Amino acid sequence: MKVQVCIIGGGPSGLLLSQLLHLQGIDTILLEKYSREHVLSRIRAGVIEHGFAKLMREAQCGERMDREGEIHHGFHIAHDSRLDYVDLHKHSGGNSVIVYGQTELTRDLYEARDKLGGNVVHNAEDVTPHDIASDAPYVTYRVGDKTVRVDCEFVIGADGFHGVSRKSIPTDVLREHEKIYPFGWLGILSRTKPVSPELIYVKHERGFALCSLRSQVLSRYYIQVPLSDKPEDWSDDAFWAELKRRLPEQVAAQLITGPSIEKSIAPLRSFVAEPMRYGRLFLAGDAAHIVPPTGARGLNSAASDIYYLYHALIDHYRKGDDSGLDGYSQKALARVWKAQRFSWWMTMLLHRFPDRLSYDERLQETEMSYLFSSETAQRLVAENYVGLPF
């Protein structure tokens, strides 16, 4: 089999790139390790930057997002028993974000690929890139007892943190930067009306909390827990009780509780791999970088990678211009590190660290006070939250 672009990874990054390239007449194949049902069972963040939303529309996948997604013009930060508001629309030049579950976004992308007859292979085992430093790379994979070879011109590694793509770059070339945070987020999904029409981030002496939503009848809540905790350590009643302790009284009084549909603990990690290109292999999304979910940058950072790759590949095939491909890693990493900075800042501002010093606590208090006393500080937060320009 021969295609122009072989994409490894069937999450939103790989699907979006394959859809965009298909619409421009560029032949792709997408290889996914798991079944479609498994991919769609993953519960992930759902805050969509305005630039990402525009890219979904360009991929002809934004109709349901625009119809069902919740447009948010700001978010709240609860601290010191008060509730302050960050007005994104006011402080970012009229921009906003869309709250739309990643599962639903991925479902829309799959349906779009089906509609165009996209070549998506599920349950592809032992996916392996070969000769990526040459001008003739290829990828092999296995389905059952059959091994298939895909000859291609470019390989896109969008297969996540644990995928094979990044591991295919020689260790003497690859540089990895990582920070592990000493806590995780215990999250539950419940079929209940959200406590607030917009997100509430909570800084509390007992630990961070977040009130989020997927729709007007589906809520997503989180609390900070030690890394040693397991989901089964927390009953639904215990979760709701702890969440209420961390919320301001007026918010806790309005909280509607119910059985959890899904419950999990996500450890927090900051990670960046450099470079994001080696030969004919290009990394995108979690294969190259991960951020704590505090700043809602993870999926959006992946989208910026896809934007740069999409335009670079179009220039290569239409104009014979490889400047976009040659500059991809540097350009993508410049934006990635800005997203890392914002996510790190939000995480440091809102969480309670087990090894905290009184100095650290006073800095957190001062940072929070400054944020809500300065329009300039709020503009900086808004600019980053709605998404920096691609």
Q: Where are the domains of the chain?
A: 5-71+101-178+269-352
Mean pLDDT of the chain, nearest integer: 96
**Greatest C-alpha distance within the chain:** 64
Task: Supply the pLDDT for residue 171.
Answer: 97
Position 45 pLDDT exceeds 70 = no
Q: What mean pLDDT do residues 46-69 have?
A: 95
Position 44 pLDDT exceeds 80 = no
Q: How many angstroms separate the Cα of 184 from the Cα of each of 196, 269, 282, 285, 364? A: 23, 9, 30, 21, 19
Q: What mean pLDDT do residues 77-96 have?
A: 96
Share of residues in the chain with pLDDT > 90 (%): 97
Categorize the per-residue pLDDT at 41 as very low, low, confident or very high, splitting at 50, 70 and 90.
Answer: confident
Q: Give CA–CA dist 34/52, Å, rounded.
A: 25
Domain spanning 5-71+101-178+269-352: CATH superfamily: FAD/NAD(P)-binding domain (3.50.50.60)
Position 308 pLDDT exceeds 70 = yes
What angle, rounded to 10 degrees, do the helices at 375-386 and 358-371 form?
90
Q: Give CA–CA dist 302/307, Å, rounded.
A: 9
Position 210 pLDDT exceeds 70 = yes
Q: What mean pLDDT do residues 127-154 have?
A: 97
Q: Which residue has the tokens 């919740």?
A: 70
Categorize the per-residue pLDDT at 78 as very low, low, confident or very high, splitting at 50, 70 and 90.
Answer: very high
What is the pTM for the complete model shown? Answer: 0.96
Position 227 pLDDT exceeds 80 = yes
Position 144 pLDDT exceeds 80 = yes
